[in-house]
Every structure is written in C-alpha cells, then in structure tokens.
Structure 1
Amino acid sequence: MIYIQENSEDPIYLQIYYQIKKDIEQGNIAPGERLPGIRTLAQTLGIGRNTVNQAYTQLAVEGYIQPKHGSGFFVLGTSSKFTERNYVPQDINTLSGEILESEKPISLYDFQYGTLPYEQFPFKLWRKYTAQIILSSQKEVVNQYPDKQGDLLLRQEIKKHLYRSRGMVCCEEQIIIGCGLQYSLNILCTLLRKENNTIAMEEPGYNGARDVFINNNYKLHVIPVSKDGLIISSIHRSDACAAYVTPSHQFPYGTVMPIFQRKELLDWANTKDAYIIEDDYDSELRYDANPVPALYSLDAEDRTIYIGTFSKSLSPSLRMNYMVLPVSLLRRYHSLFRSYNSPVSWLTQHVLAAYMRDGNYERHIRKMCLTYKRRHDVFVQEATKMFGRKVILHGRGAGVHFVLEFPGGEEQAWLIKQATKVGVKVYSMIPFWNNRNDCPRNVIFAGYSLLSEQQIREGIVLLQSAWFSALP
C-alpha cells in the first residue's frame, strides 16, 4: 500500500518512488510482478497520471522495473546481500576520427564531443570571485605549495554537492582534487599495483582511460558491452584488481547499468578483494529522469572509487576533477604520495569553492541541462524525421553525444567520407575498442554540445542528403 504524506518535504512522485523501491528491495514485490497501471494508481491515490509516470520512469531508468509495450510495468530481480545507503534522487578529451584523406576540408558542422560553447561559461561570476579572492586575506597562500589532496574549502563543497546530487556519504579527507581523469587514474595505477596487474574494462570504452592502464603496464580484461548494456558475467573469469566502469551513462553507447548488475559488480569486488573505479563523467546531464544513484552510494563494503569531473559542467580547460577514495586505501595513498602537491592552481580551486558555496554551481548545472536537453531533443526529432528507420540512435536521455547505428549496413568509413563532402564532421567508433576488429562497421559517433539547435537541424539535413541520396 502506498501512502501519500501531504506535509512531506518530498514531492509526491518521490514518495511513490521511495516506497515502491523499498518494497522491491525487501522482496515485498516479487520479480516478474506487474505494478498497477499508471491510470489505476493515479485514480487510487487521487493524483495526476504524470506524477505516477514520473515515479515509474525513475524506477525504470534505475533498473528496478521494466516497461512492456501494451502490458504495463514489471518488476526486475534485484536480490543481493548489499544494502543501499540513503539516496536522494537528482576527463574525456575531444575525440578525433580517422583521417580518410590527405587534406582536411573545412567542416561547417562539427558533431564533435568534448568542447563546450564558450558562451556557456559563467565569465562574470568567475571574474567577480577571482577579484574577491585576490583582494582578500586568502591571497596570503599564493606563494605556498598546495596540499596534495587539494584545497580544503573546495573538498568540503564537493562533499556537500555529492550528498545532494548523488546520494553519497563521504568526508573531505577521502577527496583528492586532480587535473583530469588521467591524473587520477595514474594515482590509482600506483595504489592498486600487484604482482599480476589486470584491470577489467568495458569494451567498447573510453580510450583515454585504456591508454593510462596500458602505459602503466596493466593487462586489460575486457567486459563486453552490447547495445543493451554490460555483459557483466565475464568479469568472474578475470583476476582483475579493479574494474573501470561508467555505470550511470556507459561510454560510448549511453546505457544505464541496472540495479541488479550494479549489485553483482559490488558482490564481485567484495568477493575478490577488488575495487570498482566508477567514472561518473556526465551524471549531471540527464534529461528523461533524475540522475541514477552512484555505485558508491550502494556500496556497503568500501570497494568503490568514485571519479567526478567539472569538464562537462563547467569547462574542460579548467583541468579539474576529483576522486573519492575508499577509507581502506587512504593510508596507502598518504604513504605513497606524501611528497606530492596538488597539480591544480590554488586560485582556480578557491574560485570554484566560492562559486559552489553560494549555490551558483547547482544553478549553472540546471541551466546547462535545459540548454543541452533542447539540443538533445532537436537532434532526436530531426534524426527521426530525416532518417526514419534507416538510423537507430543509442544513448538517448542523457549526455551530449549519440551513437548512430545503420541497420542497412552502411560502413562508417564511407559514412564519414560522404559527410565530409558536404561540410559535416562525424566520428569513427573504432578508437573505443581495444580490439579494433571487433568494432561494428555500421556505427558512428556524433556529439552535439558545440552546435546550436539551428546548426543541428542544418547538419542533419546535409547528412541525410550525403548518406541516403548518394545510395544507388
């Protein structure tokens, strides 16, 4: 039975979400059981259908339930010995495709990934906080070496942000400020090093992370990723000391790891005395539901290393990210890195701390989400209108990129070449595969963060003419 508390601080859809999730977790609702229909539950509770739909959508995104067309919503299995912490719902460089011709033509429409529009950056506020800090008593530390973990004020603000936005309970002593994902992964490669160094990693996955592991002489055990998600069973055949994953928005396919897989992964880490490296690279940018819980927030055994970034929300050129270490790794970290200093400018860290302290960062994220949601929706609408069933979009509902699949078998080399002829740049998927021969040849990669809504429309019209008008 679902009870609605009129005087609760939680909105009604969250009350429904919490109660159904709890019943599923505790086994009160069995796997395979059908939930009440949206109209039925709305009438029973005396609320609007949109409210029930919002609760069901969040449960579906997190993998607790599954919609079946024409039949309703059905509960998925989530059994595990792990229990959740309290949860409140809420560095990847520019990618380049393979050069197909000796000369690079001018691209009028570049569907690249990584670079953000300069006008999105909060220049006025950044200038204001910079001036305030330079003129304040805080400037006395300008000639001092910074703490190896980063500025304390910034770490305190990140701790608060993670609790509010990702349901994570941690302390500032666990947080390490870094100058990008690769810096953090280099630290982890030293912390996790064993005689037989193996890292489990998604295939396909982020090639920037893969290069760090290879450069640190780690072997790779690939975890296959299909268009429907991670095939996690393969990890049990590995002797990996850690698994690098992107559970909230798999890179590059964009799937969300369902709750049962998250718990299976946590179970593996605890059983094998291994760690999970959770790269939460764009969790703020979700458009169809609230952000899903971080793996860290589900981990009751201290096995998860969480990595977040400001590259997708503020600017990649700030070169600032952060890592939350498990308590079990802190002593080793302080021993191995005792002589290190933070690689990030003292001034940049203080400015960001002040910006977050006054609530501007969360306001900025909401603004960015609205902006990118409009571009996301325009991309989906135009692609559906212009391509029809000739193209399947993967990765809807979050982030700033899509994977385009061509059921007709058109190959990416030809697709990229044809697009180039009309001044449009799209990208190869091959770099994301450790074994490049396994990459399907009928998929390409396209981002949309740098283009306006009108440019997205015009670019897709050109792609339609380049690809499908050129076919015999």
Structure 2
Amino acid sequence: MIYIQENSNDPIYLQIYRQVKKDIEQGNIVYGERLPGIRTLAQTLDIARNTVSRAYAQLAVEGYIQARHGSGFFVLDTSNKVTEVDYEPQDTNALSMEISELNRPVCPYDFQYGEISYEQFPLKLWRKYTSQILLSPQKGVVNQYPDKQGDLLLRQEIKKYLHRSRGMVCCEEQIIIGCGLHHSLDILCKLLRKENNTIAMEEPGFSGARDVFINNNYNLHSLPASKDGLILSSIHRSSACAAYVTPSHQFPYGTVMPIFQRKELLNWANDNAAYIIEDDYDSELRYDTNPVPALHSLDTNDRTIYIGTFSKSLSPSLRVNYMVLPVRLLTTYCSLFHSYNSPVSWVTQRILAAYMRDENYERHVRKMCITYKKRHDVFIQEATEMFGSKVILHGRGAGLHFVLEFPGGEEQDWLIKQAEKVGVKVYPMIPFWNDRNSCPQNLLFTGYSLLGEQQIRKGIELLQSAWFGALSK
C-alpha cells in the first residue's frame, strides 16, 4: 500500500519511488510480480498519471522494474546482496594532524618558498584580457575540448619568447601546454618507459619530481649535488634512459652548471640514446647577470626535453607550464596521447597568449626581477649583519630561496623549533634528499617571495635572537 503525505517536503513521485523501492528490497514485492498500471495507480492515489510515470521511470532506470510492451511493469530480480565484511574504521589521526596544521594561526614571518604575494599579480590587465577574450569572435571555443597540446596561439607566443629569452629554436608543434611539472613529468614517464626504467636525478633535488618518477615505477640513480655543483661521473656507469636536472639554478643549492658539464651531459645523452630533462623552473629570476642560456640551446642532437613554467614569474595557481619535446619523440607522443585533451582551460591559455603577444609578460618579469632583487639583497645584507660568520648563504644571485649552512653545527630541528618560538617559520632540507640519512643536519631552506623588505629585516632580527642571542640559551 502506498501512502502519500500531503504535507511532506518531498515531491509525490519521490514518495512513490521510495516506497516501491523499499517494498522490493524488503521482499514485500517479489521478483516477477506485476505492479499496478500507471493509470490504475494514479486513479487510486488521485494524482496525475505523469507523477506515477516519473516514479516508475526512475525505478526502471535503476534496475528495480522493467516495462514490457502491452503488459505493464514487472519487478526484476534484485536478490544479489552486497558481500558483507567487518568494517574497521581506518586511523584518521594522520588526517586530523594535517587538518590541525591547516588550522594553525598564520606565522607572521614565514620564509616559505613557492607562493607569491597577491599584490604581484597583474590583476587589472588580466581582467581586461579576460573580458576581451570572452567577447571575441573565438569565444565559442570556450565550450569545446582544448587541443591535447594546448592552444596554438599560446604555443606560438611561447616559441617566440623562448627564442628571445633562452636562445632556443623550436616549433609550436614541439610545445605541450601542461598544468604543472607533475603533469609534464607524468607524460614523460610514459614516453620514455623501457624495460629497465631508470632516471638519473640530482641528490638533493626537487622532491615533487622524485615522487612522480617513483609513482611511475622508475628507479632513481643519484647524481650528487652540493654547494660546489653537480658530480656527473657516475652517470656514465648508469643505465638511465634520462637525466632530470636543473642546470640554470640547481635546486636547492642554487649553483649554475658550467659549460663543460653541460657538454658532458649532452654527449652522454647522445652516446647512450638517452634524454636530458631540463627543468628551467625560475630562469627569469636572475639578479646579478643576464639569464643563463638554456642547455637546450646547445643541443644539436635533439636529446633535450625542456620544461618551463609561469608559476614563479606570474602565479602558481594558474597551473600553466610548458614542455618542449624533441622532434624524435613527437610521433610516440601523438600515438600515446591522441585521445587526450589539454588540462588547462582554453580561456586561461588564450588570456596568457594575448598577455605575451602584447609584451606584457616580459615587462612583468622585469618588474618581478626588480622587486625580488630588492628582497634578495635585503636578506643578504641583514643576514650578514645579524649572523656574521655563523651562517653561510648558498644560492645567491637568482631565484626565490637560500640554503643556510651553520658551520657551528646547529641542527635543523633545533633551529626550526627556536624560530617558531619567536614567530618565524623556516624549513628543513631533508625532504629534498632521497636518502634522508645523507642530508647534513646543519642546513635550512628559506624563501622570501611572500615577505616584504621590512618583514625580512624583522624576521632575520628575530632569528638572530632565537639562534644566537639570549633566547638561544
């Protein structure tokens, strides 16, 4: 029997659907039984036939009943039960800890790396280009799936920009627009896969890249890196199909790969039919000299895969980067990814293309270099005055971070805890090591992209008191 509650917030068809469904699941209406006809049930309940029809249609689409032409609706067999298992709630303490970290008060002096202050984003121009794109004759593309390699106009602008700024010669067909380094490396892991999957990688190096390789079941061959540069000798004894490097600004130490090592790496790739993955993550941000030419610009054998990004120069939340594939890999790429679409919205890509076309991007980069050079210089000046010989700064002249070395042997765990006591946040170096036991304990990692010049001064003053002043006792 179906009961209709006139005062219920649920529509009548939903009440009918739920009651019939419940009767079928509880066995009150059995397999093969014929339900009342639509007209009959509508008359019985004194409701419209469309209401009953809608309830029956929902039951049919979910597999509870079936319409038989000229005969009515019959109950289907729903006797298969979901296998019951004893459920044990998983430990959520780790998740709770992560949530509590998010809810912690914001540290007033956070020397984090990666994020950029809101004021640096060209909001006015971005709004202008957004309006223009959405009112342009091409606006219909906004409802189409984007090309797997990204918007053609953006790829053309990137090609011209790379030629002007990095000395690179490529064509737009080689450029793949992505939504970040992880996405690009994930594509490469599939392109480069062999029976013996090994990637040579700097140690220490960017942990995000390392995670992608590991998640794709690649073995890692470590290339030792230090404040003095990268040691390449062991790569000649490896079976690596590629080497992931940051030659223009080694992450995290900040060294620049000299020309003789660049040539050595290119020769290794050519001799072993391997590839070099050049992550040029912050090449625009060089303060004392012109940007270093890309390793890709020296490659005459089509063995370098170049990856660039807009995260450091424009905004990480845009999630736009790009990759330049060797011509020899394009056929394989098109075969493996022919059904894919670009993960970056067409609107964002087209706005960025217009922004670059009008040379606003290069103006913005120059402006950012001026801003960050001031912060870079203030950091060095203040650290030199406050710390003296007690702290050595590595990675000067470029980027958005420093590595701090403590010759006196102070360990990073103690340094971090002391900094927290005075409202300053600094970061460990351990995450950048694959073999964490090899990480020297007297190193810290600090960025300065979120802090203004006065904040940097005050933050370092507080660190001096926490590490070497009265508060350190």
Q: What band does the TM-score fall into relative to the shorter chain?
A: 0.7 to 0.9
TM-score in terms of structure 2 length = 0.78
The yes-or-no answer on 1:400 pairing with 2:404 is: no
Matched residue type, 1:203 = E
Match of 2:348 in 1: 348
| 1:114-155: CA deviation from partner (whole Å, max 9, x where unpaired) | 100101100010000110111110101111111000000000
Q: Deviations over 1:348-385 (max 9, x none)?
A: 00000000000100000000000000000000000000
Report the secondary structure of 2:143's partner residue: coil
Distance 1:462 1:388, change over 3 A: same
- Equivalent position amino acid for 2:256 in 1: V
Q: 2:386: which partner in 1?
A: 386
RMSD between superposed Cα atoms in Å: 1.4
Once the two structures are TM-superposed, the CA of residue 471 in structure 1 deviates from its matched residue by: 4.4
Shift of 1:108: 1.2
Report whether the alignment pairs 1:154 with 2:154: yes
1:318-397 maps to which residues of 2 (within 5 A)? 318-397=318-397
Aligned counterparts of 2:105 and 2:341: Cα–Cα separation in 1: 44
Q: Deviations over 1:419-472 (max 9, x none)?
A: 000000000000000000000000000000000000000000000000001445
**Per-residue deviation, 1:104:** 5.0
* 1:313 partnered with 2:313: yes
Q: How far did 1:237 drift?
A: 1.4
1-structure distance, mates of 2:472, 2:364:
44
Q: In the aligned structure 1, how far is the partner of 2:130 from the partner of 2:229?
A: 43
Aligned positions of 1:125-274 closer than 5 A = 125-274=125-274
Residues 1:292 and 2:292 are matched in the alignment: yes
The 5 Å alignment of 1:461-472 reads: 461-469=461-469, 470-471=471-472
Task: Provide the rounded CA distance (Å) in 1 between the counterparts of 2:406 and 2:472.
Answer: 13
2:465, 2:472 within 8 Å by CA — same for their partners in 1?
A: no
Q: Which amino acid aligns with 2:312?
A: K
Separation in structure 2 between the aligned mates of residue 185 and residue 450 of structure 1, nearest angstrom: 27
- Is the Cα contact below 8 Å between 2:107 and 2:425 reproduced in 1? yes
Q: Which residue of 2 aligns with 1:12?
A: none
Residue 91 of structure 2 corresponds to: none
> Within 5 Å, which residues of 2 pair with 1:404-415?
404-415=404-415
Unmatched 5+ stretches in structure 2:
1-96
C-alpha distance in 1 between matches for 2:240 and 2:198:
5
What is the identity, as a one-letter code, of the residue corresponding to 1:299? D
Q: By how many angstroms is 1:227 displaced?
A: 1.0
1:420-439 matched pairs, under 5 angstroms: 420-439=420-439
Residues in 1 aligned to 2:105 and 2:462: alpha-carbon distance in whole angstroms: 15
Distance in 1, Cα, partners of 2:142 & 2:159: 24
Q: Deviations over 1:398-437 (max 9, x none)?
A: 0000000000000000000000000000000000000000
1:234 Cα deviation after fit: 1.3
Matching residue of 2:123: 123
CA deviation profile, 1:13-50 (whole Å, cap 9, x unmatched)? xxxxxxxxxxxxxxxxxxxxxxxxxxxxxxxxxxxxxx
User: Is the Cα contact below 8 Å between 2:266 and 2:276 reproduced in 1?
Assistant: yes
In structure 2, the residue corresponding to 1:142 is in which secondary structure? helix
Amino acid paired to 2:270: N
Contact 2:149 2:342 in 1 (8 A): yes
Contact persistence 1:387–1:464 (CA under 8 A): yes
Tell me the amino acid that sits aligned with residue 352 of structure 2: L
Between the aligned partners of 2:266 and 2:472, the Cα distance in structure 1 is 48
Give per-residue Cα distances to partners, 1:218-241, cap 9 Å, x unaligned: 000000001100011111111000
Task: Please tell me whether the aligned partners of residues 115 and 449 of structure 2 are also in contact (alpha carbons under 8 angstroms).
Answer: yes
Q: Equivalent residue for 2:27?
A: none
**d(CA) in 2 for partners of 1:169, 1:298:** 10
Map of 1:77 onto structure 2 = none
Checking the alignment, whether the CA contact within 8 Å between 2:418 and 2:472 is kept in structure 1 is no
The AA in structure 2 aligned to 1:320 is V
Cα distance in 1 between the residues matched to 2:458 and 2:398 = 22
SS for the counterpart of 2:256 is coil
Q: Quote the Cα distance in structure 1 between the aligned partners of 2:314 and 2:138.
A: 23
C-alpha contact (below 8 Å) 2:197/2:240 kept by paired residues: yes
Q: CA 1:387–1:135 in 2, change beyond 3 Å: closer, same or farther?
A: same
Deviates more, 1:416-425 or 1:140-149: 140-149
- Within-5 A mapping of 1:23-34: none
Equivalent residues, number: 374
What letter is aligned with 1:241?
A: C
Whether the 8 Å contact between 1:105 and 1:423 is mirrored in structure 2 is no
Task: Quote the residue 1:108 is aligned against.
Answer: 108
Q: Which residue of 2 aligns with 1:459?
A: 459
Cα 1:123/1:105, change in 2 over 3 Å: closer
Cα distance, 1:243 vs structure 2: 0.3
Partner of 2:86: none
Q: 1:381 to 1:328 in 2, by over 3 A?
A: same
Is the contact between residue 404 and residue 445 of structure 1 (CA under 8 Å) also seen in structure 2? Answer: yes
| Conserved 8 A contact 1:105-1:420 | no
Supply the distance in 1 between the matched residues of 2:400 and 2:143 (Cα, whole angstroms).
39
- Cα distance in structure 2, aligned partners of 1:104 and 1:420: 12
Which has the higher relative contact order, 1 or 2, with Cα contacts under 8 A spaced 6 or more apart? 1
**What is the deviation of 1:193?**
0.1
CA distance in 2, matches of 1:189, 1:106: 37
